[in-house]
């Protein structure tokens, strides 16, 4: 993950506005209770983890992004980890989100299966709609999850279960 470590200082300047816009859109369809446990897979600096009012956890393989996330919010548990090897037990999370990260997974199928393994019934998955991996990502998401809502946003396709 050296690319994201390399851009960690300017990450939020590059992505903050668009990521918060996606969280705002997702919040129209995802109701979160204070007691819920939410995992953000590919959380970066925590932009998509912080806004939720519940018990929050985030993983990302980029060490410098996780360091930035940890420095901003001590109430969120952040771990350096890849989507393909999520360091949590089965069915631990009420909600699992992954916002604009799936196209970056080393093994998309394994990463999505891990997301499903640690989650219960509520998932929000998005990826860049211009990704050359779009077809395979859509196919796998539709095979592994029961999609209730599909949204084409400016830059992303968002799937909600």
**Coil, strand or helix at 12:** helix
Per-10-residue mean pLDDT of the chain, 161 residues long, equals 60 67 93 97 92 96 91 92 98 97 97 98 96 97 97 94 96
Could you state, in order of their start, the residue ranges of all structural domains in the chain? 2-7+34-160
**Coil, strand or helix at 56:** strand
Tell me, yes or no, if the pTM score tops 0.85.
Answer: yes
Fold of 2-7+34-160: Rossmann fold (3.40.50)
Distances (CA, A) of 19 to 79, 90, 117, 139: 20, 28, 25, 24
Supply the pLDDT for residue 16: 63
């Amino acid at each position: 993950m050296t690319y994201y470590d390399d851009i960690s200082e300017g990450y939020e300047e590059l992505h903050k506005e668009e990521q918060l816009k996606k969280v705002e859109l997702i919040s129209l369809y995802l109701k979160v209770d204070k007691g819920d446990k939410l995992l953000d897979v590919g959380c970066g600096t925590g932009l998509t983890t912080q806004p939720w009012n519940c018990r929050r956890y985030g993983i990302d393989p980029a060490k410098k992004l996780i360091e930035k996330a940890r420095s901003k919010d001590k109430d969120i548990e952040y771990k350096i980890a890849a989507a393909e090897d999520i360091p949590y037990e089965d069915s631990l999370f009420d909600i699992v989100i992954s916002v604009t990260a799936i196209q970056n997974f080393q093994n998309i199928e394994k990463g999505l299966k891990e997301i499903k393994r640690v989650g219960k019934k509520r998932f929000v998955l998005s990826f860049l709609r211009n990704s050359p991996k779009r077809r395979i990502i859509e196919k796998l998401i539709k095979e592994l999850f029961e999609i209730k809502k599909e949204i084409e946003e400016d830059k992303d396709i968002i799937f909600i279960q």
